[in-house]
Every structure is written in structure tokens, then in C-alpha cells.
Structure 1
Amino acid sequence: MSDLLHSEPALVQFSERLTNSAAFATLFREGMDLVEETAAYLDGAGRSEAKALDRSVSLTYATESMRLTTRLMQLASWLLLHRAVKEGEMTLNQANREKTKVKLSAADPSPNDMVGKLPEQLQVLITRSMTLQSKVRRLDVSIHASTAERAAIGNPLVPQMNRLKAAFER
């Protein structure tokens, strides 16, 4: 029975199904749309709004827009990497190796008291990017968790079985 729980092909199929799911397609579109919307804002209205800010807030604007851009670049990289898996351009194992270059925890924003002084549209983009980052992190754990972690996710009996095994090994 233990062999069935840790069977790699079945677990890889689950991970590959996640990248082929409608949820992934929606997340991909959401991410790419946010990247485009943010670029348009920072190149357009954002520039005008930044020029009108006080000096101290202007520094926060520059910092937060750079963090936002970095966060979105990392998220877009992750999404494109997994779209390549979906399209059959690379295997999940290849994506797992490549994703080590992507930092899903990159560029968390400043404290709320500083962000609250920024233009409203930038605040909205930061919030949306953080929401997207949370979604991608959760999906990343589901797709790339270790074999034991995936087995535990798929079978709630695994932790109990591991405790029993440990008890009998004493």
C-alpha cells in the first residue's frame, strides 16, 4: 500500500492536471493582464501622478513601483514557465529545475502607512499583485511539493500511517 501512496507517475499526473486546468488558465490570463495594465499605468498616468507627489512620497513611489515591477516579472516568469508545461514545450521536472530561478517571495511592499500615501491606482495595483502572488504561491506548493507532501495532500491517511510506522520502528 505504501508503494501506491508514493507512486511518482500518479502524482506527476495530478501536477500536470493542475497546469492544464481552467483555474491555471484563468490565473495565467489574470497575471498577464495585470502585467500589461501595470506597464500602461507606470508609463502613463503613473508618471504624471509621481511628479505631483511630495519628495518623501516620491521616494516611496519609486521604491514601490520598482518592487511592483519586480514582483510582476517574477510572477510572469513562473506563469510562462508553467504555460510551457501545459503546451508540452517542457516537462514538469524541467520546470521544477527552472523555477528555482524565480523568487515568488520577491519584493514585498513597504508598511501600509507609507503605501497609503501613494496614488490610489498604484495602491490597487500593489494589492492585486499581492493577491496574485498568494494564488501563485499556493498553486506552486500544490504542483511542486515533494512526493511525500503531495501524497499527504492527496491522502489524509498518510500522516496517520507515518505515525504508525514510526511507532513500530522503535
Structure 2
Amino acid sequence: MTAALNESRMHRRVIDTLYMDAMILADEARSYFDDGGRCDREALEPMARVSFSCESLKVTTRLMHVIAWLLTQRAVDSGEMELREALDPSRRLADAPASDGVALFALPAGARRLIAASCQLHDRVARLDSAQGSTPPVVSSPVHSLQGRLALAF
């Protein structure tokens, strides 16, 4: 088995695992912010309720950016999209909205856990996105090198 094939399989596994993690976290967040956290939210002071709502939107935004990026990677792996298309700035991972550290202290533990988990997942994917943009693909032959250069040119 060649190194490029091993790397491709590993990349696929990482993307698939991150995708499952993102979908599970998105489901947990939806469940908590829509239903389970309702009592938590209602027990908060008015300004903390606003923070709770804002943070729920930030969690959703982070997760949707991550999921979109992962779907792009899956499209590249399956041959539905060229790598050069995935490297277009419009398909790169968007910045995560920052959470207000002071406001987080007033939020319930369940909300803080989901916020932290979404930040950690976004950070993990951001490292992959950054590495993808800075590291040229592994080339196993001069023909592949020429094909890669042509693909980036067009």
C-alpha cells in the first residue's frame, strides 16, 4: 500500500469521525437549547437569558461552519469536488464567533459544556483547515505533480 493511499484513508477516517462528532454535538445542542435547557433559561436573570440565547446561536453557528467544511472534505474525498475548489476562500472554515467569558459564568453548566465542546471542535477543525492550506499534497510521481499544478491553474 502506498503512503499516499494510507494518508488518504487516514484523512477519510479523521473527517468521518469529526463529522459524526459534529452531528452528535449538533443534536445535543438542539435538544438542550430547544427543550432541555428551557427550565435553565427561565431561571436566569433577564440579561443572562439574553446571553443564553446569544450563546446558543454561537454554538449553532460554530457547528454549521464545521459541518459545512467537513462536507466539503467528504466531497473532495469522493471525487465530487477538486481539491483546488475546496481551497477556495469561500469553502474554507469560517471564523468562530467568540463567546463572552464573563457572561459564561452566569450560564448553567449544561450550556457551558456545549459552548466549550463547540469551541473545541471548531478549534480541531481549524487546525486541519490551516494545515490543508499550507501543506502541498503528497505527490508520488512527476505525472501527478504536473496534474496537480494543472488542476491548481485551472
- Seen in structure 2, the aligned counterparts of structure 1 residues 143 and 101 have a Cα distance that, compared at 3 Å, is closer
Aligned ranges for residues 69-84 of structure 1 at < 5 Å? 69-84=60-75
Q: How many residues align?
A: 134
- The alignment partner of 1:44 has SS state of helix
The one of 3, 8, 15 aligned to 1:17:
8
For residues 111-163 of structure 1, the C-alpha deviation after alignment (integer angstroms, 9 at most, x for no partner) is 2x210111111100111111101110111112122xxxx26xx8xxxxxxxxx
Q: Distance in 2 between matches of 1:110 and 1:67?
A: 11
Paired position in structure 2 for 1:109: 99
The TM-score normalised by the length of structure 1 is 0.69
- Seen in structure 2, the aligned counterparts of structure 1 residues 103 and 22 have a Cα distance that, compared at 3 Å, is closer
Judge conservation of contact 1:18–1:143 (CA < 8 Å) in 2.
no
Gaps of 5+ in 1: 1-12, 155-170
- Seen in structure 2, the aligned counterparts of structure 1 residues 135 and 26 have a Cα distance that, compared at 3 Å, is same
Task: Report percent identity of matched pairs.
Answer: 31
Calculate the aligned-residue CA RMSD, in Å: 2.4
Paired position in structure 2 for 1:142: 131
Q: Distance in 1 between matches of 2:42 and 2:21?
A: 29
Q: Distance in 2 between matches of 1:34 and 1:108?
A: 18
Specify the structure having the higher radius of gyration (Cα): 1
